[in-house]
Amino acid sequence: MVMRSSSPLPRMSRRGRVTIAVLVGVFVLFTLLGWGVQAWTDWLWFDEVRYTEVFTGVLLTRLLLFLAIGLGMAVIVGGNLWLAYRLRPRLRPHSVEQATLERYRMALSPRLGTWISLTAALVGLFAGLSAQNRWNQWLLFRNGGDFGIKDPEFGVDIGFYVFQLPFWRYLLGVAFTAVVLAVIGALAVHYLFGGVRLQGVGDRMSNAARAHLSSLVAVFVLLKAIAYVLDRRAMLLEYNEGAKLYGAGYADVNALLPAKEILAYISIVVAIAIIVFSNAWMRNLVWPGISLALLGVSAVAIGGIYPWAVQTFEVKPSAKDKEAPYIQRSIDATRAAFGLGATETTPYAASNLTPPANLATDTSVVSNVRLLDPQLVSETYTQLQQVRGFYDFGPKLDIDRYGVNGKTSDYVVGVREINYGELTDQQNTWINRHTVYTHGYGLVAAPANQVVCGGQPFFVSGFLGEKTQEACSSQTEQIPAKQPRIYYGERMAADDYAIVGQSDPNKKAEFDRPVGEGGGESYTYTGEGGVEIGSFTRRLLYAIKEQESNFLLSEAVNKDSKLLYVRNPRDRVEKVAPFLTLDGDPYPAVVDGRVQWIVDGYTTAATYPYAERVNLQTETTDELTNRGTFSWPGRTSTTCATR
């Protein structure tokens, strides 16, 4: 008999439901509007740089992963909630517990399908949002190939570790999450509708509920068996604290690897035992519980204590002999990963402290010795060539090689970039920041092996200094730039956009370069780059994106205006080539009379078996200035291909 409560849960008023619906609708509308504006402007930017295939490829991959993982998670969780409801007992014994739950059953039952759908949709939404961030792993999984090199332990091609293993482990994590959520949800529904009881006479769990929940637990244990198999492969990638190397050491190979294989078999046996004992034979949870406890004890004893004992009592007393083969594996793998496998080493005893007699007359060496350090001379460039406070050379200059007068030499180069953070309060208005101060000016270069005027650089390009400095600089432009204006630079932040272009050819609004003490010349952008924003629709679009009404109200935005944004060279390359690890120090160069930025890109991976991982920023840090050339702090990568 079922006792029904006469006081169901109070229902929300119609006005309250309408208010909540309106608020939810407004939130969804603004969220979708924000996503739509971001996607549209991204498309326009990719179209401007002619890389729309990257945009559509990444967007489509994100969407497919969102739908596939989201729907899969929603179906698993929602399906188990629905199954738990379908398996509910028709009759429930009378108890205070069931009387208390009856009011909740009365409130939920009329719209239970809606509640299950909403729960599944919410779970699927979060799962899909998480999955779409794994687009790069999926593309590697789908398009990866073989290296033609096999790992020294399992004989598996390196391509499996680099391209496939990361995504398999992610899918396994998704499966674990889905099963755990399904167990929690199914248990809650079974409890709510009487399949699982804490009070009353008879069994605490109906046969249907026991079969359902035990099957889910068995699936979880089977997934654990798969995890043990993948963990065996992943051991070749992890840092071994005992052996102080990346990859499996002596104790791992001789104790932990066999242990994980044994645990995988035990997991399969436990999963079968859970189904058989709880449903087909004894129909209770005693033996399944014992099986799970056995799995836990085995994991501690076989997977923890035994490898620890081997490491402590067998490896440590003779670590040099035991770990030597595995250290050699790490050395060989690291050299192969960095492309250094064919490097020949020649011993050199540095005992000759007397320089060769012909060193002073060796024109191929002495004349090219650098006297200027690009890591240190930036302050000198700023002091002598900054000209205006809003120009900036950055904390580090670069080295480039040019052929001048038939001779190729090193030059320390830098560009006068606009640094919007140095504009004065009077200059830092929206009009000035985005339509007047749009670009820097000039590539400044000086030979790395020459100093003048008491140690100053001998500027041969881009000189805009005072008259007192002209004696210390070349009177002719040795590295001429036909187009010296710098619209893109390392000092550009994400919100540093510029509106350029004028419909009136006589109206030149952009500050071009300083002339004299306080004057300057003006300029109108003539380049092909930039997103056209002359139409009202485009202006409205970017007004929403930048949250700036001046796109619609300012007369500075006209029918011929273009918008330059994503102006940092590294950010631009990263946007069109998101699969590359980029050098954190782009450098400018004059190519065919134009100042262009050069960015080095590399393919890297952190899953090359036995290879040592390095922090690229740390490895490229200058000892004097502590400045690195890779701007990925904390990321450890192993290069697997050349740039």
Angle of CA points 555, 572, 383, to nearest 5° = 80
Query: What pLDDT score was predicted for residue 441?
Result: 92
For the chain, percent of residues with pLDDT exceeding 90: 35
Q: Quick one: tokens of 86?
A: 């379908």
More confident residue, 630 or 137: 137
Report the pLDDT value the prediction gives residue 15, as an integer from 0 to 100.
66
Task: Report if residue 191 sits inside a domain.
Answer: yes
For 256, the token pair is 């932990």
**Which candidate, 256, 255, 253, 249, places its Cα nearest to that of 323?**
249
Best-predicted range by mean pLDDT (115-119, 281-285, 500-504): 115-119
What is the CA angle 275-223-242, rounded to 5?
Answer: 130
| pLDDT of 638 over the 90 cut | no
pLDDT for the residue numbered 59: 92
Q: DSSP letter at 612? A: P
Residue 530 in tokens: 């930039």
Are residues 286 and 240 in contact, defined by beta-carbon separation less than 8 angstroms?
A: no
pLDDT digits (tens, 9 = 90+) for 242-257: 778 888 888 888 888 9
Of 169, 204, 239, the last residue of a domain is: 204
* Residue 567 reports pLDDT greater than 60: yes
Domain that holds residue 381: 375-596
Amino acid symbol at 302: I
Q: Which amino acid, one-letter code, is at 521?
A: E
Going by pLDDT thresholds of 50, 70 and 90, the confidence category of residue 320 is: confident
Q: Point out the least confidently predicted range of 171-185, 375-389, 453-467, 577-591.
A: 453-467
Comparing 121-130, 131-140, 351-360, the range with the smallest average pLDDT is 351-360
Name beta bridge partners: 564. Answer: 498
What one-letter code names the amino acid at 240? N
Rounded to whole angstroms, how far apart are CA atoms 213 and 80?
Answer: 10
- Give the whole-number percent of the chain exceeding pLDDT 70: 82
Q: Give the range among 53-57, 124-128, 557-561, 612-616 with minimum mean pLDDT.
A: 612-616
327 in a domain, yes or no? no
- Separation of CA 78 from chain center: 31
Q: Is 314 exposed, middle or buried (0-12, 13-18, 19+ CB in 10 A)?
A: middle
Q: What is the pLDDT of residue 376?
A: 85
CB atoms within 10 A of CB 100: 12
Asked if the structure places residue 19 within a domain, the reply is no
In a domain, 190, yes or no: yes
For residues 41 and 22, give the distance between their C-alpha atoms in angstroms, rounded to a whole number.
28
- H helical segments located in 109-248: 112-131, 135-143, 158-159, 165-192, 207-234
Kind and range of the H or E element at 26? Answer: helix 14-48
Query: Dihedral of the CA atoms 164, 167, 173, 176 (nearest 10)?
Result: -70
Amino acid at 605: A
Mean pLDDT, the chain, integer: 83
> Is the model more confident about 4 or about 571?
571
Instruction: Summarize pLDDT for 350-407 with one digit per residue, the tens.
Output: 776 776 776 666 666 666 788 888 888 888 888 888 888 889 888 889 999 888 888 8
CB 151 within 8 A of CB 253: no
CA 437 from centroid of its chain's CA atoms: 33
Please report where in the chains the tokens 């009177």 appear, as a residue.
475
pLDDT tier for residue 572 given thresholds of 50, 70 and 90: very high
Distance CA 508, CA 523 (A): 5
* Cα separations in angstroms, 548 against 86, 133, 557: 55, 29, 12
User: Could you give the residue ranges of the DSSP H alpha helices within 413-491?
Assistant: 430-431
Alpha carbon distances (Å) from 314 to 251, 326, 444, 638 = 8, 15, 64, 32
Query: Would the pLDDT of 428 be above 50?
Result: yes
Q: What is the distance between the alpha carbons of residues 513 and 491, in angstroms, rounded to a whole number?
A: 18
**pLDDT surpassing 90 at residue 19:** no
CA dist 294 and 486 (Å) reads 69
- Our count of domains for the chain comes to 2
Answer whether 129's CB lies under 8 Å from 66's CB.
Answer: yes
Is residue 211 in some structural domain? Answer: no
Last residue of a domain, one of 596, 612, 631: 596
Q: Within 276-365, where are the H helices?
A: 286-300, 306-310, 319-337
Q: Which helix (H) or strand (E) holds 532?
A: strand 531-532
pLDDT confidence of residue 269: 87
Alpha-carbon span 262 to 280, nearest angstrom = 26
* Among the ranges given (61-65, 111-115, 433-437), the one the predictor scored with the smallest mean pLDDT: 111-115
Residue 122 included in any domain: yes
Confirm whether 320 is domain-assigned: no
- Angle value at C-alpha 36, between 33 and 38, nearest 5 degrees: 110
* Residue 630, C-beta contacts closer than 8 angstroms, at least 6 positions apart: 581, 583, 584, 585, 616, 617, 619, 620
Distance CA 66, CA 45 (A): 24
Question: Are 619 and 443 contacting, i.e. CB atoms less than 8 angstroms apart?
Answer: no
- Tokens encoding 102: 């009856």
Name the range with the highest mean pLDDT among 298-302, 480-484, 488-492. Answer: 488-492
- 175 pLDDT higher than 90: yes
* Residue 284: band (very low, low, confident or very high) from pLDDT cuts 50, 70, 90: low
Which of 29 and 272 is assigned the larger pLDDT? 272
Instruction: Tell me which of 97-111, 258-272, 368-382, 613-627 is least confident.
Output: 613-627
Task: pLDDT band for 643, please (50, 70, 90 cuts).
Answer: very low
Cα separation values, 426 from 7, 432, 433, 492, Å? 69, 9, 11, 20
- Residue 112 domain-assigned (yes or no): yes
C-alpha span between 333 and 151 (Å, rounded)? 9
Residue 85 has pLDDT above 80, yes or no: yes
**Structural tokens at position 201:** 């006479």
* Most confident range, picked from 34-48, 60-74, 192-206, 252-266: 60-74
Give the residues across from 581 on adjacent strands.
Answer: 602
Spatial contact of 470 and 539, defined as CB atoms under 8 Å apart: no
- Mean per-residue pLDDT, 197-201: 66
Hey, what's the torsion of the CAs at 504, 506, 512, 516, to 10 degrees? -160
Q: What is the pLDDT of residue 635?
A: 37
Please say which residue of 176, 204, 232 terminates a domain. Answer: 204
Nearest to 134 by CA among 167, 176, 162, 177: 167
- Pairing state between β 614-615 and 245-246: unpaired
Q: 520: which 2 tokens?
A: 């300057």
* pTM (predicted TM-score): 0.81
Do 599 and 488 meet the contact criterion of CB atoms below 8 Å apart?
A: no
